[in-house]
Amino acid sequence: MVWRQYAYKIKQEGIEGADSMNLALTKRDPKIPALNHIHQEFDNQIQIDMMKNHFYASLLDFLRNKLQNWSITIDFSIIEDQEENNKHLTGRDKFEILARKNTNLLTLQKTFNLDIEY
């Protein structure tokens, strides 16, 4: 919860790069592999560099003050299983994914004889 509070705080402050950092911080929940240690995974090295150069000190200070724990450490890494996120989808693939979420799309497609290949 405190992690998300920080992400919201930097977005509200309007610091340059805060919107993208907010998304990067809230995309995945941080992991706590050991007591007083937090690990966050990012999509790429650019996000890690931005965090280290612009937000790391304020994040660490924010967490330490909110949690009243001055021995917290944070480290970052790039997520390993990115291949599934980068898969290029065809029009049919996209339609099938959306149709699984909302079956009314199948009804519309059949009723109006819509072509989903584009």
Is residue 54 predicted with pLDDT exceeding 60? yes
Mean pLDDT of 39-65: 94
Q: How confident is the model at residue 69, as a pLDDT?
A: 93
Q: What is the pLDDT of residues 65-102, one digit of tens each?
A: 999 999 999 999 998 765 555 567 788 888 888 888 89
Q: How confident is the model at residue 86, as a pLDDT?
A: 54
Q: What is the pLDDT of residues 3-17, one digit of tens each?
A: 999 999 998 988 788
pTM, whole model, 2 decimals?
0.65
Q: How confident is the model at residue 47, as a pLDDT?
A: 92
Mean pLDDT of 28-48: 93
Q: Which region, left, alpha or beta, applies to residue 69 given φ > 0 means left and ψ of -120 to 50 means alpha?
A: beta
Q: How confident is the model at residue 6, as a pLDDT?
A: 94
The fraction of the chain above a pLDDT of 90, given in percent, is 58
Q: Which residues contact 55 (CB under 8 A, 6 or more apart)?
A: 10, 21
Provide the mean pLDDT of the chain.
88
Q: CATH: 2.60.40, 3.30.300, 3.40.720, 1.10.150. Which one for 2-78?
A: 3.30.300
**Domain boundaries defined on the chain:** 2-78, 88-118
